[in-house]
Structure 1
Amino acid sequence: MFSSFSLLFFFVLLFSTTITQPYKATDVFFVDCGSSDPFNSSSDNKWGGDEHSRFVPSNARSISFSSTPDYLDASVARTPFSTARVFKRSSFTYTFPVSQGPKFLRLHFYPATYSNLIPEKSFFSVSSNGYSLLTNFSAFLAASFLTNSPFNARLGGPQVYTFVKEFLIYVKDTQILNVTFTPSHKSFAFINGIEIVSMPENLYFNKAKIPKPVGMVNGPVIDNNIALENMYRLNMGGPQIYGNIDTEIMYRSWYQDNDYLYGNATGVTPYYLNPIMYTIETPNYTAPELVYRTQRSMGKKPESWIFWIFPVDVGFYYMLRLHFCNIIPQYKKSGQTLFKIFFNTQEIEEEADLFYWTQGTGYPVYRDYVVFVDDLDGSQSKHYFRLSLHPNTKSEAYLDAFLNGLEVFKLSMDRSLASPNPELISTNTPTVKTNKKKTKLVAIISGIGGALVLLSLLVLVVFWQRRRVKHLGSIDSTLPLDRCRRFSLREVKAATDEFNDDFVIGNGGFGKVYRGYMDRATTIVAIKRLNSSSTQGFQEFITEIGLLSRLRHVQLVSLIGYCDDEGEMILVYDYMAHGTLREHLYKTNKPPLSWRRRLDICIGAAKGLHYLHTGAKRAIIHRDIKSTNILLDENWVAKVSDFGLSKLGPRDQGQDHVSTLVKGSIGYVDPQYYRSKQLTDRSDVYSFGVVLLEVLCARPVRVLGLPKEQVSLAAWGKFCYLKGTLHEIIDPELSGVIAPECLRQFGMLAVSCLNDESSERPGMDEVVWGLEFALELQELADKTIVEAANTIADDTVIGSIPLRDTTTSISSGYEEVKSE
């Protein structure tokens, strides 16, 4: 039964539907740039030419061209793409008289050849009312990205040469909206169409309604000092809604979600025929009825999940607006159906209860969230975020999850929405007809973007070719078989006896790790499988493949291949027979490692890190160095593993850091990086210093039950070293084994790695040298002990003491020599 509050809220909603008024735009401009057709300002839904219009300065220097995009089908309007206004050398400004308030500004582009001006050479910037919208922008690269990227097939098939950039700008008391085009050096700018439509005051710009911050304490407020760019506007599970007066009162286009959809469950709820009951909180202009009449749901796989993946520009805040409507008649009370919502690995909602939000069937609602998309590895201008839905087992009746619509907006940072051009290697060379001349749109130069960019894009292309969970064909051409092999799910299941728990050798946030037997049981491998109920792993999966497919070093774990069949994300590595370093240090039944072996392991891991920092054109910062990410093969060779959080260092050699949100493992994270959000290769050095203390002391990096000063191993180790009592906290198994000179050198090196100031820490080359010097000091001391012991034995005619290949054979040697 409803509570009294719920009944009151229900009647408020019911009453509010009777007073919601339709919205009519106060400012509507459809400018066909380059056209001489008369502009009819009284028309609110017809295109008019800009030639001799009041929007264009009378003394402005520009050129108009006609073009014929005859590849467009009948469903796509040729206007405004039949003409273009071209600007060479100098800036050009359109001036529109508008009322105060928020406006949609839509720029229409068709990068064709205009006379002898070819689109590949067109780079320009666009600004409006003090906001930088585009900088050194290439419409050709943008169109090529849309043409060749499966993520953006929403614009109409394999050939996508026309596209729209939509911005949201709040016009203040000037009541003028300026749009300025500025060609880059020795280039030209062009525009085919400009569309301006006003919107309700609080539709998107509403400082009283703050979006829920995700992964941060506070997020930006969407007020009239921020400009927005629409990145995605999707009708989940429903048809495309074209932006015209008959279907969308503000001419917004809502695209289908098919090309972004992923996961094991992709159901569509039947079309809802009853009225959509708009409210004061969700007026009828929030989204069209067609958005709320259809939705994605879990379908027939309630045990699984749905998610969508989107490429976006890095380094920006984004507002996500999720549209919901309870259109399933059997959901009649709160608590029946609960579900979880995630942005990447961050939980947005733990118990989304649509009936509670709406208090009825057919009532739409929306929820706003603000997120920050970090530059995870510094390698590319775009990254991919994941929005996912998961059923909540607390549901009383139905395991389900559903979403009706989604809008994603990029927020201006320091009054700028500009970002680099898409980095994409084109696989097609399509042709476009203009002025009866055929011009080939050549492939983008392969030098754009590094290998990591290409590998990430290729892997993601594979995902989208498999959307709706169809079995994926061979992609041997995307990743060389000698470097990264693609396994079928059948092969992986056979290797693990259908993921038998008896084969499990580890378990983490990504999922279980299995020992597997590939190629007719001739090759032992480690198989890391993403848990289907986990919210982690997608970006880590991409980064791991991208990095390890191009890195080979004896001190790095080797990626053999991957599997991405039927919604699975699986990585296949060389098998490390002796597991992780940590499982040989504490909380284990394994015999303790000798000091000599520990030194060898530290030296090997340090060499692996040194290669990451210096072996490529740009440094690779691991960002998650810890004892569980140092693996040991059958010969006890140490190998650095798990590159899911890795980032590329700065592009500019004059910079020493990249700015990023803090990620890593508690107890290992560099405190300076934690405070400043500035990541350097010395952040890895700090983490490695913690590992050195782990190796020496054989205890966890944090033990909450200890006295306050001893909780953190890093802090306690530094304190003991400076006090001269480091020998008191070492692993008891090493008591009397470590030479005092070696211990001093090892302790000094570990503490220098843990320096509060990153600039005061050694580089990994110095760490390798310091560890090798510690080993030499240990070997020299061992040799001295043996020689002394043999001398004593000769004097007493007992014979010599045999030297074995472990330091445990001389565990008491230092005390014996001292006693002599």
Structure 2
Amino acid sequence: MATFNTLLLSLLIIVNCIITVIPVVNAENTASALPAKSFQPFSPQDNYLFDCGSNTSTILPGNRTFHPDNSTAEFLAYDGKDIQISGPVPAANVTPIYRSAKVFAADATYTFPITAPGWHWIRLHFFPLNTSRYDLKTAKFTVEADNFVLLHQFELQNDTTVIMKEFLVNVTTERFPLRFKPKGTVAFVNAIEFVSAPNPLISDYATMLFPVSQTFGLSTHSFQTVYRLNVGGPEIETDQDSLQRLWDPDTKYLDPKEMGKSISVSPAIISYLVVEGSPLIAPPAVYASAQELADSNSVKPDFNITWKMDINVHFWYLIRLHFCDIVSKSLNELYFNVYINDKIAISGLDLSELTRKLATAYYKDIVVNSTMVSSPLEIKVSPVDDDAQGTRNAILNGLEVFKMNNSVGSLDGEFGVDGTRVSDGNDSNRQTVAAVGFAMMFGSFVGLGAMAVKWRKRPQDWRRRSSISSWLLPVHAGDATFTNPNKTPLGSRQSLFYSSTSEFGRYFSFSELQEATNNWETTRIIGIGGFGSVYLGLVDERTKIAVKRGNPQSEQGLHEFQTEIQLLSKLRHRHLVSLIGYCDENNEMILVYEYMSNGPLRDHLYGKNLPSLSWKQRLEICIGAARGLHYLHTGAAQGIIHRDVKSTNILLDEKLVAKMADFGLSKNASSGPEKNHVSTSVKGSFGYLDPEYFRKQQLTDKSDVYSFGVVLLEVICARPAINPQLPRDQMNLAEWAMQWKRKGLLEKIIDPTLAGQINPESMRKFAEAAEKCLAEYGADRPTMGDVLWNLEYALQLQEASTMGKTDDEIKSFAGPSSPAVLSPATASSSNPFSHE
């Protein structure tokens, strides 16, 4: 058994090398970077700043005005006596918001109206002012936010310094509560900030630390800032950061201090990558300073810079590492490793390959699970032990450590809002098992892993001289054979190809697609996503194609490609966009699809000034999309859940035939009678997201049904699913439209261009279908087959009206027992998986 465990551990190490040692960057795609001033500043739509207990407003640097909370009674629900205190702060340079406080002897709740759903900062400020009535230094209380515990039985323990607790939460509701609950004595707070944060600040994707690198969904978690360090530089105060973040110097965490040497440049020279970068991630001042090796020419094999920070080992952490090459004189000089708790986090980080330019910001997010956590947390950077490298150096510019909520939604302690307690190992074992399973999937790549170790000592142009279909490999792991007919010299990559590529359709050479898109001309771009760009191409002189060219730097894109090629190589249906072929030259990830000349459905509903669709056309488009989804759910050996149903993923061909597209987020449905859902991180598009899926993180085909219900409302109302420019009660289409539907007045909000076109019975049937799709619980929603039946019925009602039938005849035709339409069971009995 010990031998097996040793072998398994070795395998995991090799697999980790495969994934982390080869960051693929296409040499032809030079990264585009711009100075900080080229990016738009962020203006928070929700911006609630309260100076608690104060009678006057307080203006802080940066022109931020904190309003007294006694003048905002509509925000605070509290049954006790209003207790406000004030007093001196410990030092003259301490922020004025600490000179007063609100004290609660009973539970109190601040409620914030939300105008812009998404990420929000919560900053709570505490200082125990001297008061004869209350000893705030011994106060103990809990703070809860919506379904999360922010602070559990928090106490200052006679601390006489100011304390600020910062949290980042993803808000999806119209109102957000913040509850203070005293435990024995009183609760208090000096100031509260509840402010919108830019949504790109936290991507849904991060890399898991050893034993394997895998993506990790972040959008459903909440975070507490534990450390935020400006490495190698001075403190950056809140008025120097556009998001009002405080960056501490890193010197007190360096251990030993003499291993690092600070270096700095002018912030004005810092650039950001256009696609993945922004000063909102971190200001230029962070990237303009760094710690580098104190003796960059040291020959000691274990020479490194180490930062040590105390943490709570019972939680998971998001580690954000900031890099910017301000030490090199030219490209391709800096090449180093990053370790977290002595586990390899980034192997052979080569900033030149990632940014293609010096002094350009780059960051990396890594999730550390509780089984890998120890205190103190140790972050190390160390030069690669490679004689081929000209400079032995390593740097770090910035470091952020965020605590992640546990399985019961707590960021502090083991109890959730409802008193649920974290079970032993609840948060770690499940992910650990998943990680090991993920590693075993790559077991067939042991030989490739061994070569990856050799590749670390590679010439600088190795990517340009080699080719590998690595983006195809995981799709077929375990059920395919690979050939290597031509061995190449040691140190260069071997070309590996799947032995049967026919299922992917036609093979296109890179030069052929380059010519088809006029050398990837920007005017040919017809779509952009997390994977990269989609180009209009022309092959065989007259055949138009859609060419999806993946971005090699996008982990999200790689996963989406793998999912899409796996699904579309198996599925064929008139109402699914067809995969024509692929290209795997020059480290490219390229898929070729049939060209849908009329683009996405959304463009024909609003925003593009295209000719309005008739009601019959809209019904036929909805029916086509419903057929495609129904086939996904029932037509494959194992049902498939699309997971990103929206009007932009319904494409129209030259005859306005609707086809479902973009299967990058799709999941296989659960199998077996005992399980009716897939437990998975929440992904999808805001406004279309099934609320039950969001709450429970349990995905079913009824999640697609909910999203399709939102699309139906888009079709009849011709407006976006979410419009933050509208008043709060109109912002969410599903909620707003259903309010009018329940009043029996849906016709008041339909697309004005449909006025006089729609038969009332047809609209009633259509609206009923949408309402049923939007039921709060999945069990109450119809299947896609039922939705399809109702939409076809609505179309027949519309056609009956155009044939001159009277209203009475149409109403009779619309009766519940009408024989004119097959029931779902009957309709599917003849050929349930028909491709029509």
TM-score range, shorter chain: 0.3 to 0.5
TM-score relative to the length of structure 2: 0.47
* TM-score calculated relative to the size of structure 1: 0.47
Q: Which is higher, the Rg of structure 1 or of structure 2? A: 1
